[in-house]
Amino acid sequence: MDEQTIPVTVLSGTLGAGKTTTLNHVLSESDDRDLAVLVNDMGEVNVDADLVAESSDISADDEELIELSNGCICCELRGDLLEAIDALTREREFDAIVVESTGVAEPLPVAQTLTLGFDQSDLDPTEFYEETGIEPLENCHLDTTVTVVDAHQFHEAMRSDEILDDDGTKKHLGDLLVEQVEFCDVLLLNKCDLVDESTLAEVEETLATLQPRAEIVRTTHGRVDPETVVETGRFDFEDASRSAGWIRELQQPHESAEEEHGVTSFVFEARRPFHPERFAYLLDEFPENVVRSKGHFWLAGREETALALNVAGRSIRIAPAGSWIAALPPEEREEQFEAYPDLEETWDDEWGDRGTRLVVIGTEMDHESIRDHFELCLLTDEEMDADWTTFEDRFPTFEPLEEADEDETESLEHDGQEEIGLAD
Ligand SMILES: Nc1nc2c(ncn2[C@@H]2O[C@H](COP(=O)(O)OP(=O)(O)OP(=O)(O)O)[C@@H](O)[C@H]2O)c(=O)[nH]1
């Protein structure tokens, strides 16, 4: 990126992970840098901004500190975020800007807003400008995305059933945590004083598996060298979008060797469909030590559309993953064959490309036993010949789609339990 433009750092992390504490530390250690700060808080009163003002020599009335309250910069305040940065940089030249997100913010849409708004991506910004009416800011660039993780609460958060309500968008705590970990350049493993070395090492290993690209730094009370989070030059939208451990695992599957603290991953593959009733039951009783699972699967009776599985902690979501190529009209199918010549190698005479590929990441997992559980969900020889439409199927149904659309994500409807509408 152009070194002449102002580097912007975005701090994310779940509620109470230590974002404000880290920000205050960075401010107090940055005498040689003129930093501007933008703090986003969901409430009408920006408590975090007051805390920053209280513990640093920046005052809430100063032009270096801008508060964005009553909404979230990853959704309704996206335009306001750019306007605020524009206002800041019009005041005067800063060496760097740090944005503290709310505890419910997803880093990806924030990064998307900034890279589009700073004209720093290859994506077509027209739609965004039409929506926000904001001209690109040519004097800034997104430089570093940082996620602060609470080492003490990590396992609890991943096992928690807590549902966060971000202005009507409901989301599991574990889901948000995983999103924040999978999309960042620097991971600060904070509150190291509250856990023993062995727990710390295990959390660290899990983070490194979920997010192999980020630099992981242990901190206590957010005490981090400002150079680690400001003006690092680490951000790259494409790299960040593809850096999640599950994506790498799907691209280069390998049965990972047991690490010191038992964090492993593997890929489950099958060319037979899952029985909808047995697979739904397996998801109901999904092994607790699976931290993350992603991929697509073939459900008997759904021969048109592949389904996507997205497990993050206790959150299990199902979404359409696009049409099976075998279900496309002949012309479109031909186009796919031309675009992906390798398809021939795995093409099944009867079922085409239909099949299942799931990455499973977890701690102390018994691979064989989890594989067996998946295998038992596959149709038996007898079931292969049966009428698949007679199987009980409580997976969500989706309108036929051209391509996968994350917004269509829905949780699996559990018997007697209220379905959680996770669609945006
Ligand atoms: N023991 C311990 N406490 C910490 C540490 N870091 C932060 N805290 C405390 O944890 C609490 C939450 O810290 P904040 O910095 O406000 O967390 P935050 O992520 O900004 O929280 P929200 O703005 O509510 O999302 C405060 O009471 C901090 O003093 C740490 O490393 N160790």
Greater pLDDT, 385 or 125: 385
Mark whether 77 and 200 lie in a shared domain: yes
**What's the pLDDT score for residue 408?**
46
Q: Is the CB of 15 under 6 A from ligand 1?
A: yes
Mark whether 254 and 136 lie in a shared domain: no
| Beta strand 65-68 pairing with 35-40 | parallel
Judged by average pLDDT, the poorest of 1-10, 338-347, 358-367 is 1-10
Q: Cβ distance 148 to 18 under 8 Å?
A: yes
Q: How far apart (Å, rounded) are the C-alpha atoms in residues 298 and 271?
A: 8
Mark whether 181 and 279 lie in a shared domain: no
Domain presence at residue 416: no
Domain boundary among 243, 260, 289: 243
Mark whether 254 and 287 lie in a shared domain: yes
Which residue's C-alpha comes closest to atom 21 of ligand 1?
Answer: 16
Domain presence at residue 162: yes
Mark whether 204 and 352 lie in a shared domain: no
**What's the pLDDT score for residue 404?**
42
Greater pLDDT, 101 or 125: 101
190 CA → ligand 1 middle, Å: 9
**Total domain count, the chain:** 2
Which is nearest to 187 in space by CA: 153, 224, 157, 159? Answer: 224
Mark whether 201 and 327 lie in a shared domain: no
22 CA → ligand 1 middle, Å: 8
Mark whether 280 and 393 lie in a shared domain: yes
Mark whether 211 and 256 lie in a shared domain: no
Q: How far apart (Å, rounded) are the C-alpha atoms in residues 54 and 56?
A: 6
- Assign residue 386 the CATH number of its domain: 3.30.1220.10
Question: What range defines the domain where residue 125 resides?
Answer: 6-243
Q: Is the CB of 43 under 6 A from ligand 1?
A: no
Domain presence at residue 310: yes
Length of the chain equals: 424
Which residue's C-alpha comes closest to atom 25 of ligand 1?
Answer: 15
Q: Relative to the CA of 190, which ligand 1 atom is closest?
A: 31
Mark whether 272 and 175 lie in a shared domain: no
Domain presence at residue 424: no
Domain boundary among 202, 217, 243: 243
Mark whether 53 and 120 lie in a shared domain: yes
148 CA → ligand 1 middle, Å: 10
Mark whether 53 and 147 lie in a shared domain: yes
Please state, for a pLDDT cut of 90, what percent of the chain lies above it: 52
Q: Cβ distance 344 to 422 under 8 Å?
A: no
Q: Relative to the CA of 148, which ligand 1 atom is closest?
A: 19
Global model pTM greater than 0.95: no
Domain presence at residue 418: no
Domain boundary among 192, 217, 243: 243
157-179 pLDDT, tens digit per residue, is 888 878 877 666 677 888 889 99
Q: Is the CB of 193 under 6 A from ligand 1?
A: yes
Mutate to test the pocket of ligand 1, among 12, 15, 20 (most ligand atoms within 8 A of CB): 20
Mark whether 291 and 259 lie in a shared domain: yes
Q: Relative to the CA of 47, which ligand 1 atom is closest?
A: 23
159 CA → ligand 1 middle, Å: 21
- Assign residue 17 the CATH number of its domain: 3.40.50.300
237-285 pLDDT, tens digit per residue, is 888 888 888 888 877 766 555 556 688 899 999 999 999 999 999 999 9
Domain presence at residue 1: no
Domain presence at residue 58: yes
Q: How far apart (Å, rounded) are the C-alpha atoms in residues 30 and 19?
A: 16
Domain presence at residue 421: no
